[in-house]
Amino acid sequence: MRRPWTVYILRCGDGTLYTGITTDLEARIRRHESGRGAKYVRGRGVAALHHWETCATRSAALRREAQIRRLSRAQKLAMNQLRSHR
């Protein structure tokens, strides 16, 4: 069985937010933390996993990632608050 795709938002060390997709969130975060992940995160470091959600297919994950990237910073920050109340 295939692993579901995960769309995630990281809070970087400088306070910025990074959005990405993966099928193995723990491994992907380790890559970011070790400096072998996305170039954007390399110089900033990972402060925390801010938000994550799963999608059934890569295509769905890419669409959701694009939707999230179009959100304002305030909307992205609110996503974590909503998640903690579920």
* Tens-place pLDDT, residues 31-44: 999 989 899 999 89
Q: What is the pLDDT of residue 2?
A: 78
**4 pLDDT band (50/70/90 cuts)?**
very high
**Coil, helix or strand for 19?**
strand
Question: Residue 39 burial (CB < 10 Å; 0-12/13-18/19+)?
Answer: exposed
pLDDT of 45 strictly over 60 = yes
Say whether pTM exceeds 0.95.
no
Q: What is the pLDDT of residue 1?
A: 66
Domain range for 33 is 5-84
Query: Cβ(19)–Cβ(50) under 8 Å?
Result: no
Domain containing residue 10: CATH number: 3.40.1440.10
- Mean pLDDT across the stretch 74-82? 85
Total structural domains in the chain? 1
